[in-house]
Amino acid sequence: MIIKVLGSGCARCNQMETLTREVLKEMGVEASIEHVREIKKIMEYPIMSTPGLVINEQLVVSGKVPDKAKLNQIIANALAKEK
Amino acid sequence: MNSTAPPETRPGGHQYRLFMWLGLGLAVWIAVYYWLQPLADFLTYRVLGLSAAGHLGSSVAFFLYDAPKVFMLLVLVVFGIGLIRSFFTPERTRRILAGKRESVGNVLAASLGIVTPFCSCSACPLFIGFVEAGIPLGVTFSFLIASPMINEVAAILLYGLFGWRIALIYIVTGLIIAIIAGWIIGRLKLERFIEGWVLERRNSNNAETTASLTLTDRFKYGLNAVREILGKVWLYVLGGIAVGAAIHGYVPQGVLASIMGKGAWWSVPVAVLIGVPFYSNAAGIIPVVQALMEKGAALGTALAFMMAVVGLSLPETIILRRVLKWQLLAVFIGVVASGIIIVGYLFNYIM
């Protein structure tokens, strides 16, 4: 699973990364996480407000940091799609 | 059959409980709010034994009343605005604004700027998203000006410390500045000063990714907003009110009239100049502004200062440099600053 956190460095964007790492660890999922900070790269995805979360090149969250349960669900869905 | 099922599975049962909690919370809030002033006086004059005529007594009573009052207002309004904001996303706002011509678009954009959740670091993605949807540059700017300038924390503090009229004036003049400044920028036809790479983008995907939120989601959003904002500003608010309390109790009446009062014509532009580089935190500034005004600073000057602090955020303008060439950025800052200065003079004149 390839995960990208889109954000230019504000507190919430960092929160997104921290939470994602936490959830991945708890779920025992292997994934590469890249924190994309450059605006040109961020805009490769149809995002209008940071922070954003991209899983396997699909934008799944934008605009806010989801709560843990929801993030769990999102990652689980992405896992299911991979199979 | 339904009455024996647990509340969560009964249709509407969950929502009913949420509303009950909301009602209860509001009732408690109102009750506590009414007792704040008497409680503050009681603690200052009876328990601590301070004199009502003295500097210390005056300051302490001010602080003990204002601090809890402001925090309670913050909790209530930030939660309420959070609920409203849960209905608006930048994507939805873009959809509403696309295709609207200027003037109507400017008014709509400024109004939406208040209710659409927006953080400074999203300025660039949002700008690009709007431009790609064909929204006129001026309309986009009306949104970008209104969003940070009309700050609910600032409005709450203004209401709590100055009353509803001043808070309303702040909101209305913020809107007017956003609408007119955006319209002017639109008229100036500055599209060529958008950074080239933004205009060259072909990858405009206007897909929306958000699903619909449940009531519980919305309540969580509101509570999160309270936690986040309070977490950020509580120290500044406390500090600001403390400074305000000190000025209230110790600075004699009228001392500031000479430098910040109506007579000093240069006070408005200077106030704006000082306000611009201030790191945008409305929370701490406003209680200070209140105390200054009590001692003779003019309303227009104080308002201009506050709007410059909140509305022209230096960090945000620096971020916008990535998508705007410096000429456009300069026009943006210039037009908004002029608007704020005009508002400042206006209120010094009519008040």
Position B208 in a domain: no
Which residues in chain A are closer than 8 Å to B220, comparing Cβ atoms?
Answer: 67
Give the Cα separation of B137 and B214 in Å (integer): 34
Position B263 in a domain: yes
Give the Cα separation of B148 and B269 in Å (integer): 20
Q: Using 50 as the pLDDT threshold, list the residues of chain A that sit under it.
A: none
Position B261 in a domain: yes
- Number of domain units in chain B: 1
- What rounded mean pLDDT belongs to chain A? 88
Q: What is the pLDDT of residues B65-74, one digit of tens each?
A: 888 988 898 8
Which residues in chain A are closer than 8 Å to B209, comparing Cβ atoms?
Answer: 46, 59-62
Q: Is A43 on the interface with B (CB under 8 A)?
A: yes
> What is the pLDDT at residue B163?
80
Is-contact B317 B329, C-beta < 8 A?
yes
Position B266 in a domain: yes
Give the Cα separation of B230 and B118 in Å (integer): 17
Q: What is the pLDDT of residues B88-107, one digit of tens each?
A: 888 888 889 988 888 899 99
Which residues in chain B are closer than 8 Å to A59, comparing Cβ atoms?
Answer: 209
Nearest to B125 among A42, A61, A64 (CB): A42
- Residue B202: which pLDDT band, with cuts at 50, 70 and 90? low
Higher pLDDT, A17 or B7: A17
List the A52-55 sheet strands across, edge first. A32-36, A2-6, A52-55, A58-62
> What is the pLDDT at residue B246?
82
Above 90 in pLDDT, residue B1?
no
Is-contact A79 A40, C-beta < 8 A?
no
> What is the pLDDT at residue B331?
92
Position B322 in a domain: yes
Position B16 in a domain: no
Percent of chain B with pLDDT over 90: 21
> What is the pLDDT at residue B260?
60
Above 60 in pLDDT, residue B280?
no
> What domains appear along chain A, each with residue ranges and CATH number?
2-82 (3.40.30.10)
Range of the structural domain that residue B91 is part of: 25-202+215-350
**Phi, psi angle pair for A52, to nearest 5°:** -135, 155
> What is the pLDDT at residue B10?
53
3-class SS at A58?
strand
Distance from CA of A34 to the nearest CA of B (A): 18
**Pairwise CB contact (< 8 Å): A63 & B210:** yes
Give the Cα separation of B173 and B182 in Å (integer): 14
- Residue B6: which pLDDT band, with cuts at 50, 70 and 90? low
Q: What is the pLDDT of residues B105-162, one digit of tens each?
A: 999 999 999 988 888 778 888 999 898 888 999 999 999 999 988 888 888 878 877 7
Is-contact B105 B240, C-beta < 8 A?
no
Structure tokens at B332: 């943006």
Across B53-57, B226-230, B279-283, the highest mean pLDDT is recorded for B226-230
Least reliable range by pLDDT among B2-11, B19-28, B105-114, B250-259:
B2-11
> What is the pLDDT at residue B107?
94
Higher pLDDT, B119 or B170: B170
**ipTM score:** 0.87
- What rounded mean pLDDT belongs to chain B? 82
**Phi, psi angle pair for A36, to nearest 5°:** -90, 115
**Pairwise CB contact (< 8 Å): B201 & A50:** no
Structure tokens at B288: 């200070």
> What is the pLDDT at residue B210?
56
